[in-house]
């Protein structure tokens, strides 16, 4: 059974940085399309960044491009999200998500559709104050 556990959230001032981690267990992360999502109260879950170890080309939401960086430590089954130049509008609960990559499936296609993923972590809160 695949399990995802996020950590690294917290409270920072605008302009600060945080690094989120997602521990992946129950399988090998290399076989999965991975992504980070976030959700604020009253808003829909939003894709932040996606990655697949097989091609290494990450994708980002326009709102975080050039500020956030997604990476994967395959030997240790870890997924990371480095968040720099944080803004108050980045405040949200951040979730790690995974779906097994089946043959001919492209991880970057519809990567930001939450319905695509069937494994989710419990979330970690990020609060950015102005």
The per-residue pLDDT for range 26-53, each reduced to its tens digit, is 998 888 999 999 999 999 999 999 998 7
How far is the C-alpha of 13 from the C-alpha of 64, rounded, in Å? 17
Instruction: Give the pLDDT confidence score for residue 56 in this predicted structure.
Output: 63
Q: What is the pLDDT of residue 67?
A: 98
d(Cα 12, Cα 55) in Å, to the nearest integer?
33
Low-confidence ranges of the chain (pLDDT < 50): none
pLDDT at 12: 98
Q: Are 86 and 17 in contact (CB under 8 A)?
A: yes
């Amino acid at each position: 059974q695949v399990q995802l556990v996020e950590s690294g959230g917290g409270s920072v001032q605008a302009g600060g940085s945080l690094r989120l981690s997602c521990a992946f267990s129950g399988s090998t992360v290399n076989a999965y399309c991975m992504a980070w999502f976030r959700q604020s109260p009253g808003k829909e879950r939003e894709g932040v960044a996606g990655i697949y170890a097989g091609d290494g080309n990450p994708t980002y939401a326009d709102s975080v491009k050039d500020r956030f960086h997604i990476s994967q430590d395959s030997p240790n089954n870890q997924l990371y999200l480095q968040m720099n130049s944080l803004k108050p509008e980045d405040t949200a609960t951040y979730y790690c998500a995974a779906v097994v990559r089946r043959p001919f499936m492209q991880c970057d296609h519809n990567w930001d559709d939450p319905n695509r993923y069937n494994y989710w972590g419990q979330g970690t809160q990020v609060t950015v104050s102005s």
